Structure 1
């Protein structure tokens, strides 16, 4: 069976054609969507959801033209953010992304909007999570007048492809919005009513029993979370792997049983049953990108033209330093420049600055070590019995795959050899593999 998987990421759209008979991707594509929108408020992180939807449609149509026998389409994409849709399933707002910070604004009693919502629900709903953003809009009277439902970007794009009028979210996506009850695999309706959010605008949450609809006669299945999709694409059904994914942000993930809890880790529903334990940071590749931007500004300040690739220049500086015998730094960098999950007020720090380590190379090394250390802090709190389940470390994401210096530091810190997934667009491959499983089950049930 051949299936298409789409990953609607923060900076690009990944696409994959998966051939289950060959157990491999036979086509992989990456398209930068350039969908960021300007905003008046510094906390706002918006993207043009309609632009992304149209590009996604073009990508799928191109793959269908070039590959015969496609039997299903799977979807995934950046989690947590929301798009509002009207009663016809049409988008009536931009995408408020997972990086949007409006819910971190002060609300009342010294608490932010996200903190107040979290306290009312009895669970953490960080700034950037969809229901925290929606709560801010409800209080501020900023919900679009035509809005009938809210959903994730990937679910809104699925509506665009199938012309369905109302979103249906897989639990792996629904949970990413916050206010989710893992025991019932649904939104915490009564608790949300008390907050003033209500439930009328929440999407239906259900494990899919069939496709949402058709695109050019091909079944389109509900989107799954990109964290879960990346795990599926890189690790598959193996349950002895620690999965490290570094993109804009970064995550550690491992399979977990139903409701298994570890302090500091988040339990997320997994499409194949059970769940994932996830330790997520907000600054993975984003921290390295911020440092590259700083270097560009310094070069421009000197009246010079920055190199075509600042990343290549930084990597070259590290390589030259290594050849000269320098691989470590006494500089300490905490790269929480964008806050932390559950603490949007957290700030980054640079400590232990001395005359002999106040150099660009030391700053690069310190940032890389800080990214790794923040991820390792999750691993360090796991019970030994849980750690004993892990025998492999699998890496993914361009922030890791394209940065051998970071990969080497991950291996050293975790004390395990880093293995790589077979396909570069892991989330798209995971969405395609999930679509294969759903289509096979759907056909086996005799409901096609």
Structure 2
């Protein structure tokens, strides 16, 4: 995206937003500057690094006609991070919400204000990190993010396994959409009862950034129980959500503390994997019951109807729309 900005504006020097610079690593977004001391010690060619700037800065103007849409002379902003753009759209009207995004991968995000963010290596818990977000009235805002490598990609792999098994045994070709449709019809029959507790799934098929050796496991205890494919997919969906929540202890404690104090917690769910999937939505309710199992207050069995847990599913939370709003509403700097 930074190359594309340079191409549109025919720039000689490459600008990069602090969003994207942070994603490259070896960058301190609080200063903001590259970690030149570390990079020089490693004999990295620091003269090749782009110049980090704030995410709402105009870096040039288009220099040529591009198709019939883009004309010369149109201001171009520095490229910003897609996660930050999407979170700006999600948090614009709900700055105190916890955002659960499930697309190909998954993330839990919270907006936070702190004087200075610690380096990743200094965090006691490596499953989350602070991402630079924006400067709001001279206050630096950051996103506390737990980024999981496991989301819709795990479900896609499992549905592919079911698809190939059916093909092998029956020579019937079912599309993923047809398989999901059959699963959806089983929702009324699936309950979070004791009969489901003999299935245990660790859903980290692709490992995690903080634990690359993590693997995908399925454990089924012996006895009379014979698990159905519906119980297994139900358990998988629950554990995918539980996994990403476990990566963000701050969010877990916030939910429990708010519940104990009778304060509402807003949870925004974005991404097609959860916003359009009733099994995943039901799984989130199960995870909420687990999280609140040790909290005092309302009956945890009524999480869906409790006014203290406000879960909203956002069907459209596109990064491109968030990017446009970010630069328009965050102010313009030349």
Deviation at 1:382, TM superposition (A): 4.9
Q: Distance in 1 between matches of 2:152 and 2:56?
A: 36
| CA distances 1:214-255 after superposition (whole Å, capped 9, x unpaired) | 342322211222221111112216431101110111111011
State which of 31, 51, 62 in structure 2 corresponds to 1:204.
51
Deviation at 1:381, TM superposition (A): 4.9
Q: Could you say if the C-alpha distance between residues 420 and 166 of structure 1 is closer, same or farther in structure 2, counting changes exceeding 3 Å?
A: farther
Which aligned pairs between 1:196-345 and structure 2 lie closer than 5 A?
196-208=43-55, 210-215=57-62, 216=71, 217-236=73-92, 238-258=94-114, 259=116, 263=125, 264-272=127-135, 273-302=140-169, 304-308=171-175, 310-320=176-186, 322-326=187-191, 329-330=196-197, 331-345=199-213
2:234 is the alignment partner of 1:365: yes
Structure 1 match to 2:324: 432
Structure 1 match to 2:277: 403
SS in 1 for 2:111: strand
Q: Could you say if the C-alpha distance between residues 412 and 359 of structure 1 is closer, same or farther in structure 2, counting changes exceeding 3 Å?
A: closer
Structure 2 match to 1:167: 14
Q: Could you say if the C-alpha distance between residues 191 and 237 of structure 1 is closer, same or farther in structure 2, counting changes exceeding 3 Å?
A: farther
| CA distances 1:315-353 after superposition (whole Å, capped 9, x unpaired) | 422432x33354563311111111112222221111235
Q: Distance in 2 between matches of 1:383 and 1:408?
A: 18
Q: Distance in 2 between matches of 1:277 and 1:316?
A: 37
Normalising by structure 1, we get a TM-score of 0.58
Q: Distance in 2 between matches of 1:196 and 1:311?
A: 51
Instruction: Decide whether the 8 Å contact of 2:55 with 2:134 is kept in 1.
Output: no
Which segment drifts farther, 228-237 or 311-320? 311-320
Deviation at 1:295, TM superposition (A): 1.3
Q: Distance in 1 between matches of 2:226 and 2:20?
A: 44
Deviation at 1:209, TM superposition (A): 6.3
SS in 2 for 1:286: helix
Q: Distance in 2 between matches of 1:172 and 1:274?
A: 12
Q: Could you say if the C-alpha distance between residues 276 and 213 of structure 1 is closer, same or farther in structure 2, counting changes exceeding 3 Å?
A: same
Segments of 5+ residues of structure 2 without an aligned counterpart are 63-70, 289-302, 304-308
State which of 225, 243, 261 in structure 2 corresponds to 1:374.
243
SS in 2 for 1:191: helix
SS in 2 for 1:441: coil
Q: Could you say if the C-alpha distance between residues 307 and 210 of structure 1 is closer, same or farther in structure 2, counting changes exceeding 3 Å?
A: same
| CA distances 1:100-121 after superposition (whole Å, capped 9, x unpaired) | xxxxxxxxxxxxxxxxxxxxxx
| CA distances 1:132-151 after superposition (whole Å, capped 9, x unpaired) | xxxxxxxxxxxxxxxxxxxx
Larger radius of gyration: 2
Q: Distance in 2 between matches of 1:179 and 1:334?
A: 32
Deviation at 1:201, TM superposition (A): 2.9
Q: Could you say if the C-alpha distance between residues 208 and 289 of structure 1 is closer, same or farther in structure 2, counting changes exceeding 3 Å?
A: closer
Deviation at 1:408, TM superposition (A): 2.2
Q: Could you say if the C-alpha distance between residues 358 and 411 of structure 1 is closer, same or farther in structure 2, counting changes exceeding 3 Å?
A: closer
Number of residues of Structure 1 aligned to a counterpart in Structure 2: 286
Structure 2 match to 1:157: 4
| CA distances 1:147-172 after superposition (whole Å, capped 9, x unpaired) | xxxxxxx2233233333344311111
Q: Could you say if the C-alpha distance between residues 381 and 255 of structure 1 is closer, same or farther in structure 2, counting changes exceeding 3 Å?
A: closer
Instruction: Decide whether the 8 Å contact of 2:264 with 2:310 is kept in 1.
Output: no
SS in 2 for 1:375: helix
Deviation at 1:293, TM superposition (A): 1.3
Q: Distance in 2 between matches of 1:398 and 1:337?
A: 20
Instruction: Decide whether the 8 Å contact of 1:246 with 1:284 is kept in 2.
Output: yes
Q: Could you say if the C-alpha distance between residues 390 and 192 of structure 1 is closer, same or farther in structure 2, counting changes exceeding 3 Å?
A: farther
